[in-house]
Structures are given as structure tokens and as C-alpha cells.
Amino acid sequence: MSDDAQTGPLFELPGLWFNAAEMNALITMHELLVNLEPGALQSKVGPLIERIQGLLGENTEQSEEIRRRVRILGMAARPVTPKHFETIVSALIKRQRLTITHFHRGREETLSREISPQRIVHYRDNWYLDAWCHERDALRTFAMDSIQEIATLEGQARDVPNDLLDAELGASYGIFAGAATATAKLRFSPKRARWVATEQWHPEQRGETREDGSYLLEVPYNDDRELIMDIMKYGPDVEVLEPTSLRERVTTLHREAAESYTLTARSRPAHRTERPATSNRSGRRLGS
């Protein structure tokens, strides 16, 4: 251990030096990783964290406090089989091909593919695998939780340049692949604008606060399914201005939702007050 007037005490790992703040940052990162995919990295990262705590010496109490104070809340997370997770990561690093069997929820069918893994993506509390599909001869994104079987192949994985990955898989809105083909123009109410104006929906988005306090947001997209879900959650606080096709789809979904509630209300029996059942009355009371 050595001292430095600018950074404070330094602690040594093999070939690396960290100050106390950096050590604590590693502990915080550990909590993030463990909570992102519980169990998948615990056995690998745990021993490193224990060693870091030992190196912290008198700051061990502080590091434990940091770990206790970090809380990650996931929402709608779909767990990935730990063994599948490890196999994918290993193939990524060793540049090996994989054969996978996965369930395609949209088609409700099970498919088998030979792929060259390119990168894993953690998006909205779930893990995805960007890969080159040798059957389709194109880039595809697979939900890792939908993989039912997986095996490593002997063949060398095909490498796809990062700029092509970003152009094909990162140019449009959300997790769906494909270069952007349209731009959504959304207007948020002044009340909702307070939040949306500070949100990042897409790296290439454009935003503008209007004089009336409303907020105009423009985002590029290819597949509108995920974008529509995000639009719908804002209810009456957002209006789709362009393109017309997107506006019509959102309008139709709002109308269908309203009709669904109307039909439900009509089919529900009218409320009435009943006398308590007695021994000389037959039949069941509503709600029994």
C-alpha cells in the first residue's frame, strides 16, 4: 500500500492499483451485477469481492455499509438459466459458434438455429443475445430467457464489425433489429413533459420544449411494437403527431381498449342490495 496526496491510500491487486473510492465503486458494481442476473455471476465475482474487502482493511465496515445500502429493483425480469448464461458468455469470449433451440413467442413455435454470438445486451431488466444467424444469413436478436437448449460448436464464430452491429441493431427504437425507416413525432402534455424532457428514449432523439410547456419528442424506429407500448402507457398525456400510420395504430388500440372496458361494464350484473339468506330460501347469492 502507498499514499498519494491526490487520491488517498492505494490498494494493490495483481497488476492494478485502486484507491479506496475505486474499491468501493467495485463493490457497488458487484451489487449491480448480482442483482441483474442473480446467481449467474455470484460464484465468479464473490471471491474477488471478498479479497477487495480484505484489501480495504479498516474500511471494511464502510464497504459493507455500501453493499447494504445499494438496492436494485427489477421489473418484469425473465430469469435466464445460469448454465445457458455461462455457455453464451464463454462462446462470446472464445469466439465459438453456438446451436440454440429457442421458443419464438410471436409465432408460438420452437426454432433451432446455428449462430455466431456477437454481444449480450441487458435491456429493461432482461438479457438479449445479438448474433449472426447462419440460417437467415443476417443479424438477429434472441431473448436469452427463451433459449431452451444450447450447445457449443467447433466452428469459429463469424465476427461482425461494431459499426455494422450498431447500424443494424442500434439505429432504431428499442430491442427490435433493423435500420430506422421512420421517425415518430410525439407531443407530451406540460404535466408529463417535466419527466419526458429528461428521458433518453433513443441516442438519436430530438426534443423541444414548446412555449405552452408541452414537449415534442422525435425518435427513429423500424418496428413499432415496443414504441407503441411506451406511447400507450402515457395515456392522454401524449399525442402521436407523425407518421399517420403510427397515429392510426395508437388510435385504434385506444379505441379497442375503451370498447373492452365498455363491454365489461355492460356484462357485469347491476348491483343490488339483498337480504341475508335464510334457511327457507333456496339458491346462491351473487359472489358466493
Of the residues 26, 47, 69, the one at which a domain ends: 69
Is residue 174 a part of any domain in this protein? no
pTM: 0.69
**Domain tally, the chain:** 3
229: alpha, beta or left? (left if phi > 0; alpha if psi -120 to 50):
alpha
Of the residues 163, 195, 222, the one at which a domain ends: 163
Provide the CATH number for the domain around residue 92. Answer: 2.30.30
Is residue 286 a part of any domain in this protein? no
- Phi, psi of 44, rounded to the nearest 5 degrees: -85, -40
Residues 6+ apart with CB under 8 A from 224: 173, 182, 184, 246, 249
- One domain, residues 107 and 49: no
Is residue 51 a part of any domain in this protein? yes
DSSP 270: P
- One domain, residues 86 and 137: yes
245: containing domain: 182-266
Per the listing, cell 465503486 goes with: 25
Is residue 16 a part of any domain in this protein? yes
**pLDDT in single tens digits along all 288 residues of the chain:** 445 545 555 545 455 566 667 766 766 666 666 665 555 556 666 676 666 656 555 555 666 676 677 676 777 888 888 899 989 999 999 999 999 999 988 788 999 999 999 999 888 888 999 999 999 999 999 999 999 999 999 989 999 998 888 887 776 777 766 778 999 999 999 999 999 999 999 888 999 999 999 999 999 998 898 999 999 999 999 999 999 999 999 999 999 999 988 876 666 665 554 444 443 433 333 333
**10 Å Cβ neighbour count for 125?**
15
- One domain, residues 63 and 89: no
